[in-house]
Amino acid sequence: MSPIPVRIFASRRLSPGQLLVSAPLARALGLKSGTPATVRLGSGAVAGLLRVFAAPGLTLGLWPAAAAALRLPVPVLLWARPGATGGCPAIDLGPVVGILAAQYHNTYRLFVGMARRRGVLAYLFAPADVVWDERVVLGRSLHRGGWVRRPFPFPQVVFDRSIGIGPPETIAGFLEQLRAHGCTVFNGDLGDKWRMYQHLASYPQLRRHLPETVLLESWDTVRAMLSRWGVVYLKPAAGFMGLGVLRVAAAGPGVVRIASSANFGARVVPEAALAGQLGQWQAYGKWMVQQGLDLVRVGGRVCDVRVLALKDGRARWRVAGMTVRRARPGSVVSNLHRGGTVLPFQAFACRVPRRRGAAPLGVELRRLVKRILPAVDAIAPRAGDVGVDIGVDRDGRLWIIEVNTKPGRSGRLANPAVYSLPMEYARYLAGFGPASPARGVPPRPGTEGSGKESTALERIPEV
């Protein structure tokens, strides 16, 4: 049977060893009053005697010590499915989702709040919060509007949002340790930008949308690319948030004009001076040289489009949103972290040249992203939260600039799906999905295939 939503509470009026289940829940799970049963959550379990009581709704009551043993922050809404242990019935609860992150801004408030509304127990944690021998996590969740730290059950699923937590090798080892303890991890790294470029370039249908990119070997690499394109970008293969990007343009014999993502404004320098810096940069990792693009500008500032693609409660990709980002004056990148701003889509689209009979720009962007996503699945089957950066040049041609996991959010609830869909995918991975509309309730017009999760229609009891 499909999992069902259950409201769980603890009461001092219940004697130790007493499991209180409402009559509708007993019927749904095939439970009988007076029989022994076990309640399981992750690696925790408590056993007791079932007592069925006449009450509406799907409700499970525990004695306080049982809730504490399961590390449950009662009252709480979770999903239940029938199980068995030692010949006795069991109630399996979940999902428990650990969000691996070290930031506590509004984006994470919305992730945790949306999870709570959908019957997902979600909390934030870092590697130092895991108590391995007890299989407990000292995670952080919301209580009365603020973050509080408390013991939580070991996660069944980990949503990897590990930005700035530690060195990539350390985080990779930590995630492997979590997998060895039975956790399903989703949304890990796609590899560095060079690996991703090579992977996308292996797909003929994507190749024409990729700017020429080569690995930096010496100044000769830059010189050769400048002779072809006039403008190139130097990028660290392991870079993120627009950090470390350098725009280099030919400016005359022996000189180039450079501008970086760290400083606004350009300056002319001798080629030899820049060439002398390359060896120092390469000591810290791989660098790429990428063809410069003549992208559409609004108000003299370069723009690109960030398309957010998310997996839903049935592991299907949904294009959940498109954001036009406009670079700060004088900046070489449009990233919001580097001073870029959001521009209304139509203000951008009306400046993009279109061929007669061509599909609207938004439709073309979605089509390109839907061709990219199978390539993402091929390299990272458990990716579920992906940002695709697309540039549009002055001829209207679409260019794939980058594909990233762990894309940022605005921290506003303009589109709830961008916060709820990762929780639905986590629920699916934990075995408590797929989500489906409540029986007899037709979908609202306009929600089909729009990226809005189907669970918005589920009749879930309030906690």
Which strand (E) or helix (H) includes residue 424? Answer: helix 417-429
My answer on whether 277 and 344 are in the same domain is no
Domain boundary among 240, 265, 291: 291
Q: Is the pLDDT of residue 458 over 70?
A: no
Q: What angle do CA 90, 93, 95 make, to 5 degrees?
A: 150
DSSP output for 388-414: EEEEEBTT--EEEEEEEES----SS-S
Provide mean pLDDT across the span 104-124.
95
My answer on whether 395 and 444 are in the same domain is no
Distant-in-sequence, close-in-space partners of 136: CB < 8 Å, separation ≥ 6:
71, 130, 151, 152, 153, 154
Q: Which of the four pLDDT bands, split at 50, 70 and 90, describes residue 242?
A: low
Q: What angle do CA 361, 363, 365 make, to 5 degrees?
A: 70
Per the structure, the complete domain to which residue 442 belongs is given by 96-188+418-457
Q: Is the pLDDT of residue 240 over 80?
A: no
pLDDT value of position 259: 82
Compute the half-sphere exposure of residue 442: CA atoms within 13 Å on the CB side of its CA. 3
Give the CATH number, domain containing residue 301: 3.30.470.20
Q: Is the pLDDT of residue 338 over 80?
A: no
Helix (H, G, I), strand (E, B) or coil at 380: coil
Provide mean pLDDT across the span 40-65.
95
My answer on whether 281 and 336 are in the same domain is no
- In percent, the amount of the chain with pLDDT more than 70 equals 90
Asked if the structure places residue 302 within a domain, the reply is yes
Q: Is the pLDDT of residue 28 over 90?
A: yes
My answer on whether 177 and 82 are in the same domain is no
203 φ/ψ sector (left φ>0, alpha ψ -120 to 50, else beta):
beta
Q: Which of the four pLDDT bands, split at 50, 70 and 90, describes residue 266?
A: confident
Helix (H, G, I), strand (E, B) or coil at 276: helix
pLDDT value of position 263: 63
C-beta of residue 416 within 8 angstroms of C-beta of residue 114: yes
Report if pTM > 0.85.
yes
Q: Which of the four pLDDT bands, split at 50, 70 and 90, describes residue 204?
A: very high
Q: Tell me the C-alpha distance between 81 and 356, whole Å.
A: 55
Give the CATH number, domain containing residue 50: 2.40.40.20
My answer on whether 104 and 168 are in the same domain is yes
Q: Is the pLDDT of residue 20 over 50?
A: yes
Provide mean pLDDT across the span 338-345.
82
pLDDT value of position 278: 86
Asked if the structure places residue 261 within a domain, the reply is yes
Distant-in-sequence, close-in-space partners of 263: CB < 8 Å, separation ≥ 6:
none
pLDDT value of position 427: 97
**185-199, 288-302, 443-457: the lowest-pLDDT one:** 443-457
pLDDT value of position 103: 86
Q: Tell me the C-alpha distance between 450 and 173, whole Å.
A: 37
Question: Shortest CA distance to 454 belongs to which of 408, 442, 149?
Answer: 442
Q: Which of the four pLDDT bands, split at 50, 70 and 90, describes residue 72?
A: very high
pLDDT, tens digit, for every residue of 407-444? 888 778 888 999 999 999 999 999 998 644 333 333 33
Which strand (E) or helix (H) includes residue 38? Answer: strand 36-41
Q: Tell me the C-alpha distance between 373 and 199, whole Å.
A: 12
Asked if the structure places residue 199 within a domain, the reply is no
My answer on whether 342 and 435 are in the same domain is no
Asked if the structure places residue 422 within a domain, the reply is yes
How is residue 145 written in tokens? 């509007």
pLDDT value of position 264: 58
